[in-house]
A and B are shown apart, each in its own frame.
Chain A
Amino acid sequence: GAGVSQSPSNKVTEKGKDVELRCDPISGHTALYWYRQSLGQGLEFLIYFQGNSAPDKSGLPSDRFSAERTGGSVSTLTIQRTQQEDSAVYLCASRSTGGNYEQYFGPGTRLTVT
């Protein structure tokens, strides 16, 4: 079946602009995660959605970052007033309820802030 998809695959934006990154999880997966992979910091957790529960936002680096998950499926990560240090690969993962809780990752969005 289809895996996790993310769009766009690459995004170049000017400092100060807002960007939106999209994640389509595997159909039926109730949990969705956003991570960021940057050269200096490795792979870091950003935010976690589980069903209708309030999201775990503990990994968001600043209030310029926010995310929504509409209808329990598609998620959008928004970065306002982008800074050069926001340049990174943003990865989305999803998993089903129960089972072994394995997370499945999308191909990522490479964000470059100039």
Chain B
Amino acid sequence: KQEVTQIPAALSVPEGENLVLNCSFTDSAIYNLQWFRQDPGKGLTSLLLIQSSQREQTSGRLNASLDKSSGRSTLYIAASQPGDSATYLCAGNNNAGNMLTFGGGTRLMVKP
């Protein structure tokens, strides 16, 4: 059974700092690894999806990497802004289309 862990649970950084959020998973036979953003009281917004054949994906100031052999994914946020404050969740599945297993999330606060 896939288990997903995110460390740290909470992170506070000053505006402008580059930061890395970590996600680890127990089963290297991962098919998709998705990163989501969740604002308080809202649903999930998909940020990046990395398929098992890929090593990384980039969107704007965000870069996500996937290392199946070590069971790790990272989300890199460049030049953080107060608007980046939210909870970031990673999730993976072991087969195409299967349900996602979520980590506990990292609550990020970017201070002006």
Contact = CB atoms under 8 A, between A and B. Distances in A.
Given A91-B44, A95-B97, A105 B49 contact: no
Interface of B: 31-32, 34, 36, 41-46, 49, 51, 89, 91, 93, 96-105
Contacts of A42: 102-105
Given A102-B34, A102-B49, A105-B44, A43 B89 contact: yes
Most B C-beta atoms less than 10 A away, residue of A31, A33, A105: A105
A59 B104 CA distance: 17
A69 to B, nearest CB: 15
B44 to A, nearest CB: 4
A101 B31 contact: yes
A72 interface: no
Contacts of B44: 91, 93, 105
Contacts of A100: 32, 49, 51
A63 to B, nearest CB: 20
Contact of B100 (A45, A50, A107, A108): A45
A72 B93 CA distance: 23
Contacts of B105: 42
A74 to B, nearest CB: 18
B43 A105 contact: yes
Given A45-B100, A50-B97, A102-B46, 13 more contacts: A31-B97, A33-B99, A33-B100, A42-B105, A95-B97, A101-B97, A102-B34, A102-B49, A103-B34, A103-B100, A106-B43, A107-B42, A110-B41
A15 to B, nearest CB: 24
A9 B41 CA distance: 10
A48 B100 contact: no
Given A42-B104, A102-B46, A104-B46, A56 B99 contact: yes
